[in-house]
């Protein structure tokens, strides 16, 4: 089953058992108050639950869906930074409150970003989500209780007019974040910037990490794909350690 982001507030899930010509849609996620208010730009399957899908839209919302019921069961809220005892109950309570507020005084929705959501990325262990938005913010979320962990990723410039793809190293220590024509190499958990990768002449749209060769592939509007790899070190340099070892 594949997921399709669409230039509408709805998501479509498709199943193709044989070939593309046999592609048919199995689900449409959305409708009434349970959908994005603007276009959906990015989406990603959960690594912890095969039935859960995250979507991000131009309305700043990051919604979590259970495809068995075609239902949005939670929205990530940038203001939710404290630990909750039972996130499932809290999510349902908040949804009922939102629906009540909508009937009384118009839409009142939690948002993950103050701008369009351009990327969603789970960490390799599935314990956290990363989201990026045109508010120039990169945020980390706890998947157990949906908290904003308030990691301070600095200077994450983002004025994209379409989705962008982030990547993470296989050990989960680094995140590669496209920012204009450069790629930021950031510490996943502290937010510290280790290095800026410069090699493109125009906006970078996608980053993909190859765990086999320990390489990063990036594509940009300059119609180029750049391969980045870590420089080989001597035994002494490996003992010293150097996070700024990426080169094209």
Reply yes or no on whether the pLDDT at 120 is more than 70.
Answer: yes
**Mean pLDDT score of the chain, rounded to an integer?**
81
Angle (CA) 118-45-84 rounded to 5° is 85
Neighbouring CB atoms inside 10 A of 152's CB total 9
- pLDDT value of residue 109: 74
3-state secondary structure of 239: helix
Give 5 or 184, the one with higher predicted confidence. Answer: 184
- Region of residue 172 (phi > 0: left; psi between -120 and 50: alpha; otherwise: beta): left
Q: Which residues pair with 121 in a beta bridge?
A: 130
Mean pLDDT of 127-147: 96
Residue of 244, 213, 242 whose CA lies nearest to 227: 213
User: Which pTM was predicted?
Assistant: 0.76
Domain ranges of the chain: 1-151, 165-248
- pLDDT value of residue 103: 36
Reply yes or no on whether the pLDDT at 107 is more than 70.
Answer: no
Distance CA 204, CA 95 (A): 37
- pLDDT value of residue 10: 53
- Is residue 9 within 8 A of residue 37, CB to CB? The reply is yes
CATH topology of domain 1-151: Methylamine Dehydrogenase; Chain H (2.130.10)
Angstrom CA distances, 147 to 72, 119, 138, stand at 17, 18, 14
The H-or-E segment that residue 205 falls in is strand 204-210
Nearest 5°: phi and psi at 101?
Answer: -65, -35
């Amino acid at each position: 089953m594949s997921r399709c982001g669409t230039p509408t507030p709805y998501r479509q899930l498709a199943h193709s058992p044989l070939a593309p010509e046999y592609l048919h849609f199995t689900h449409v996620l959305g409708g009434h108050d349970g959908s994005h208010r603007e276009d959906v730009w990015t989406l990603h399957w959960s690594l912890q639950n095969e039935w859960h899908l995250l979507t991000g839209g131009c309305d700043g919302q990051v919604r979590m869906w259970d495809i068995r019921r075609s239902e949005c069961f939670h929205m990530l809220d940038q203001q939710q930074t404290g630990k909750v005892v039972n996130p499932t109950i809290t999510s349902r309570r908040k949804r009922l409150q939102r629906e009540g507020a909508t009937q009384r005084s118009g839409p009142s929705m939690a948002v993950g970003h103050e701008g369009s959501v351009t990327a969603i990325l789970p960490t390799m262990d599935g314990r956290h989500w990363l989201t990026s938005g045109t508010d120039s913010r990169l945020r980390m979320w706890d998947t157990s209780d949906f908290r904003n962990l308030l990691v301070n990723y600095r200077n994450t410039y983002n004025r994209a007019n379409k989705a962008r793809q982030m990547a993470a190293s296989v050990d989960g220590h680094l995140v590669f974040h496209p920012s204009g024509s450069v790629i930021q190499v950031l510490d996943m958990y502290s937010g510290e910037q280790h290095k800026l990768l410069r090699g493109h002449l125009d906006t970078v749209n996608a980053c993909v990490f190859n765990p086999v060769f320990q390489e990063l592939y990036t594509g940009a509007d300059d119609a180029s794909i750049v391969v980045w790899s870590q420089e080989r070190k001597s035994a002494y340099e490996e003992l010293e350690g150097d996070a700024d070892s990426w080169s094209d």
